[in-house]
Amino acid sequence: MNTNLRLFHTLETDNICFKSLVADDTREIHTYASDEEVSRFIGWKLMKTVDETREFIETMLKREAAGTHMYASVVLKATQAIIGTVMIFDFDQITNHAEIGYVFHKDYWGKGYGSESVALLTDFAFDTLKLHKLHASVVDANIGSARILEKNGYELEGRIKDHFFIEDIYYNQLLYGKINNK
């Protein structure tokens, strides 16, 4: 897992690269972790203070050290700015499945970086980790997130009605999956 983790933290395209999640990046990560619009549908609680963000990063690093999660900061190569976080988690050793997730600073929405990141994440999970299937859970109102998955060949496999209760409104859960056909 350590070799794979090191490789995961070095993935790149022409526009973006992944790097290790580190506590030193707390302030930069806090710019999107504390944004209500960003955190509304991602499953992270809104980080109100820099200290809360630091504590959450420490929790993520503990999960990564335990081998249950893989996290990476997404860096825009042109500016070296951290624009998001990607993750692979809930590894199922029996079925050889895992879940993916991602979150991006809203200034970088709609620019293709989410799709590019999910492509890197997916290729790594299938080619290096040799996973059979990846899945993702999306709040149905998060149209941008669903588009990212669909652009990367993930199929809508199911819908669970009124699964999420956010700001006094029920939302459906969309279940996406992609099988490794390589």
Per residue in 16-75, pLDDT tens?
999 999 999 999 999 999 999 998 888 778 899 999 999 999 999 999 999 999 999 999
Burial of 151 (0-12, 13-18, 19+ CB in 10 A): middle
Relative to beta strand 133-139, strand 81-92 is unpaired
Reading the block at residue 68, the tokens are 């249950």
Mean per-residue pLDDT, 148-177: 96
Q: What pLDDT is attached to residue 43?
A: 74
End-to-end CA distance of the chain, in Å?
A: 21
Q: What pLDDT is attached to residue 42?
A: 83
Q: What pLDDT is attached to residue 182?
A: 77
Q: What pLDDT is attached to residue 1?
A: 55
Q: What pLDDT is attached to residue 85?
A: 97
> Smallest Cα–Cα separation from 18: which of 89, 112, 117, 91?
117
Reading the block at residue 46, the tokens are 């809104």
The answer to whether domain 2-132 has CATH 3.40.50.300 is: no
- In this predicted structure, the answer to whether residue 3 has a pLDDT above a threshold of 90 is no
Per residue in 87-146, pLDDT tens?
999 999 999 999 999 999 999 999 999 999 999 999 999 999 999 999 999 999 999 999
What are the backbone angles phi and psi of residue 166, rounded to the nearest 5°?
-125, 125
The domain spans of the chain are 2-132
Q: What pLDDT is attached to residue 159?
A: 98
Q: What pLDDT is attached to residue 2?
A: 67
